[in-house]
């Protein structure tokens, strides 16, 4: 499991209780990698405390805030499992959905969450709906909730996600471009319990549009070929 963390010290104890209970019910070997993305609120200290009491907990701490794409990239590269689960650390994702997502992975390479009922501000909900619509129109790849970070993927999928800022928004499309099978699954979304969201319309609209154009360029420049004859020695 990979969880990016940015100033979520208040959320982490409650989140770990839920995660630990879910992992215990699963009864499978697991590691939980918290990637502290340059937090200044003591998040790293909280994670160190969790690691002292449970060997499944690992801390990866970045020197300075590098963004969600970087935190996810670093965490996935540090992970040692054959299957990787990613989710946010703000308690809005429900760890109880993890067994369902793992079950949906049967016959697929990745399962991406779809927040059917959003517990965000009306502005954030509307902007997300518009962004998903524009994204689908530009890429031609329909995804209900591309920005949802609650995902399960097989390790071999990691090579399809380039290490560029903003690529976390387009994981389903990037995986499909590489030939992977991606399915969607409805997941719960809960109201934020502590603090405020780090993402808003102003601080992501321009970046998202630029990133979308990059992904569109990648889609159009894909190598397309079909082998009609080949030999093996």
Note down pLDDT in tens along the chain; length 233 residues: 999 999 999 999 999 999 999 999 999 999 999 999 999 999 999 999 999 999 999 999 999 999 999 999 999 999 999 999 999 999 999 999 999 999 999 999 999 998 887 655 555 655 566 555 555 565 566 777 877 899 999 999 999 988 888 888 888 888 988 899 999 999 998 888 886 665 554 555 566 666 666 666 666 666 665 666 676 66
CA 123 from centroid of its chain's CA atoms: 22
Predicted local confidence at residue 212, as pLDDT? 66
Q: Burial, 93: exposed, middle or buried (Cβ in 10 Å; 0-12, 13-18, 19+)?
A: buried
Q: Burial, 223: exposed, middle or buried (Cβ in 10 Å; 0-12, 13-18, 19+)?
A: exposed
Predicted local confidence at residue 231, as pLDDT? 61
- The SS3 assignment for 96 reads helix
User: d(Cα 190, Cα 35) in Å, to the nearest integer?
Assistant: 22
Predicted local confidence at residue 181, as pLDDT? 95
- DSSP-H helix ranges across the chain: 12-26, 43-53, 68-78, 98-104, 122-139, 171-177, 201-220
With contact defined as beta carbons under 8 Å apart, do 62 and 38 qualify? Answer: yes
Predicted local confidence at residue 31, as pLDDT? 97
- The residues pairing with 80 across neighbouring beta strands, listed in sequence order, are none
Predicted local confidence at residue 97, as pLDDT? 97
pTM over 0.85: no
The residue ranges of every structural domain in the chain are 2-220
Taking the domain 2-220, which CATH number applies? 3.90.550.10
């Amino acid at each position: 499991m990979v969880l990016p963390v940015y100033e979520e010290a208040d959320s982490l104890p409650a989140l770990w209780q839920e995660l630990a209970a879910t992992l215990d019910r699963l009864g499978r070997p697991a590691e939980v990698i918290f990637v502290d993305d340059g937090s200044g609120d003591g998040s790293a200290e909280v994670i160190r405390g969790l690691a002292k009491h449970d060997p499944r907990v690992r801390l990866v701490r970045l020197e300075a805030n590098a963004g969600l794409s970087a935190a996810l990239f670093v965490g996935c590269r540090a992970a040692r499992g054959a299957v990787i689960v990613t989710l946010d650390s703000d308690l809005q994702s429900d760890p109880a959905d993890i067994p369902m997502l793992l079950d949906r992975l049967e016959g697929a390479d990745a399962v991406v969450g779809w927040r059917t009922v959003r517990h965000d501000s009306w502005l954030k909900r509307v902007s997300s709906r518009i962004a998903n619509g524009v994204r689908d129109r530009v890429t031609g790849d329909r995804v209900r909730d591309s920005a949802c970070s609650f995902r399960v993927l097989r390790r071999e999928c990691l090579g399809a996600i380039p290490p560029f800022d903003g690529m976390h928004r387009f994981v389903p499309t990037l995986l499909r471009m590489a030939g992977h099978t991606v399915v969607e699954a409805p997941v719960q979304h809960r109201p934020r319990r502590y603090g405020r969201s780090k993402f808003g319309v102003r601080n992501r609209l321009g970046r998202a549009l630029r990133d979308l154009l990059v992904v569109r360029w990648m889609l159009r420049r894909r190598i397309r070929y079909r082998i009609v004859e080949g030999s093996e020695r």
